[in-house]
């Protein structure tokens, strides 16, 4: 690994100021061992961070206050001051202030990510309605990032250890879901997931399961036509390029542990994928935006206004998102390096085979 990436710089957007975002960030960066793996940069302000720090007696860390990236201190937490003014923070309350400053933090963090000033970004939860403005007219982080990076498509991919669940549709109403279940959309998502599994997760020949849309995957057309007319043809076409299987009946797929046989699962809509995922991830799930040229992760939960400011927020998912971000950065670097030096992988395999043969000769 190059010196540049021995300790990646990881940015943290603060989320809604009145939610649990800064609490879980503080709990995460309070563990000094994190500095062994990355250089954290929190996009907020000293005053905002200190407001929540006072309510967390176990928060023990030093930080450097910066306004320029060339001032980053690799031995401490860095606070990139996005604003200097006093801000009225009211934990647990949904108001315009929380949304406005969440957007300022996100904009600055994404700008740094796009410009390569940071190697990865972990976003704290926003309130999707509260953040709406002329600058943010999106249903969440995923479509916003898609727009900023100018890519044709991305996948909201939920990750927990070896379980990965992607979505064809994200934050759309149930009545609109079927409009988006097209052969083109399914193929696009499958291609992104397949490429991500190889580049971001180091899986050479990934196997992807595809869920049906209707109960019992349509029962061969008795309960809806989408499986026969759209989903099956899309899977058949995808199989020219990858190992894709299905459609599987969603109600039994996870309950029978079938997801363990695949490297990823493509669900048709939000709750079809996220309900089983969150039930099995035990609070340590990570939301990853597959298909971006940069690495962005987030916890798999929301702003939790009901416990904001009370020190009760569990930072397990945010910590998992931080380490997933680091892991993907490292995997991408290794993938790019291997593609740059294809003989390295071949040489490694040749050497391993030669060693095996020598051992067999000696044993014989």
pLDDT in tens, 294-312: 999 999 999 999 999 999 9
Is residue 14 within 8 Å of residue 121, measured between CB atoms? no
Helices (H), 181-287: 183-199, 226, 232-238, 250-253, 270-281
Q: Label residue 92 by pLDDT band (50, 70, 90).
A: very high
Q: Label residue 224 by pLDDT band (50, 70, 90).
A: confident
Torsion angle of the four alpha carbons 333, 334, 336, 339, in this order, in degrees rounded to the nearest 10: 170
Angle at 186 between CA 185 and CA 191, to 5 degrees: 100
User: What ranges make up the beta strands (E) of the chain?
Assistant: 9-13, 39-44, 63-66, 77-81, 120-123, 155-160, 163-167, 207-211, 243-248, 264-267, 286-290, 295-299
Q: Label residue 60 by pLDDT band (50, 70, 90).
A: confident
Nearest 5°: phi and psi at 150? 65, 35
The strand pair at 207-211 and 163-167 is best described as unpaired
> Structure tokens of 358?
């020598």
Q: Sort 250 into a burial class: Cβ within 10 Å, 0-12 / 13-18 / 19+.
A: buried
**Quick check: 361 pLDDT over 60?**
no
Distance (Å, whole) CA 170 – CA 128: 13
Residue scoring higher pLDDT (169 or 55) = 169
pTM: 0.88
**Quick check: 245 pLDDT over 90?**
yes
| pLDDT score recorded for residue 353 | 53
pLDDT tens digit string along 133-159?
999 999 999 999 999 999 999 999 999
pLDDT tens digit string along 273-297?
999 999 999 878 999 999 999 999 9
Q: Which domains, from first to last, does the chain contain?
A: 1-151+292-364 (3.40.718.10), 153-289 (3.40.718.10)
pLDDT tens digit string along 250-260?
999 999 999 99
Question: Cis before residue 247, ω within 30 degrees of 0?
Answer: yes
Q: How far is CA 318 from the centre of its chain?
A: 10
What region, left, alpha or beta, does residue 309 occupy, with left being phi > 0 and alpha being psi -120 to 50 degrees?
Answer: left
**Quick check: 183 pLDDT over 50?**
yes
Is residue 247 within 8 Å of residue 230, measured between CB atoms? no
Q: Sort 217 into a burial class: Cβ within 10 Å, 0-12 / 13-18 / 19+.
A: buried
pLDDT tens digit string along 185-212?
999 999 999 999 999 999 999 999 999 9
């Amino acid at each position: 690994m190059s010196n540049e990436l021995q300790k990646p710089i990881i940015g943290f957007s603060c989320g809604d100021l009145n939610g649990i975002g800064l609490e879980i960030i503080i709990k995460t960066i309070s563990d000094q061992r994190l500095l062994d793996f990355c250089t954290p940069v929190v996009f907020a302000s000293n005053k905002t961070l200190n407001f929540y720090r006072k309510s967390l007696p176990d928060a023990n860390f030093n930080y450097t206050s910066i306004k320029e990236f060339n001032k980053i201190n690799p031995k401490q937490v860095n606070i990139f001051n996005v604003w200097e003014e006093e801000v009225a923070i009211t934990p647990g309350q949904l108001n315009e202030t929380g949304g406005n400053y969440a957007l300022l933090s996100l904009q600055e963090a994404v700008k740094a990510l796009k410009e390569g000033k940071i190697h990865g970004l972990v976003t704290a939860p926003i309130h999707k309605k509260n953040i709406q403005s002329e600058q943010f007219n999106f249903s969440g982080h995923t479509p916003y990032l898609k727009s900023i990076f100018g890519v044709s498509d991305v996948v909201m991919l939920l990750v927990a250890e070896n379980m990965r669940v992607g979505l064809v549709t994200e934050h759309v109403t149930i009545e609109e879901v079927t409009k988006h279940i097209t052969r083109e959309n399914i193929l696009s998502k499958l291609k992104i997931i397949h490429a991500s599994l190889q580049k971001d997760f180091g899986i050479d020949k990934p196997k992807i399961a595809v869920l049906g849309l209707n109960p019992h995957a349509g029962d061969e057309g008795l309960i809806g036509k989408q499986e026969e007319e759209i989903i099956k043809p899309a899977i058949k076409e995808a199989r020219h390029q990858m190992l894709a299987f299905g459609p599987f009946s969603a109600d039994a797929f996870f309950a029978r542990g079938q997801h363990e046989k695949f490297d990823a699962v493509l669900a048709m809509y939000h709750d079809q994928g996220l309900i089983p995922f969150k039930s099995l991830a035990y609070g340590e799930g990570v939301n990853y935006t597959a298909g971006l040229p940069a690495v962005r992760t987030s916890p798999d939960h929301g702003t939790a206004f009901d416990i904001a400011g009370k020190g009760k927020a569990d930072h397990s998912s945010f910590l998992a998102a931080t380490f997933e971000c680091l892991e993907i950065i490292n995997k991408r670097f290794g993938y790019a390096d291997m593609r740059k030096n294809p003989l390295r992988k071949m040489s490694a395999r040749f050497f391993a085979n030669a060693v095996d043969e020598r051992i067999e000769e000696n044993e014989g």
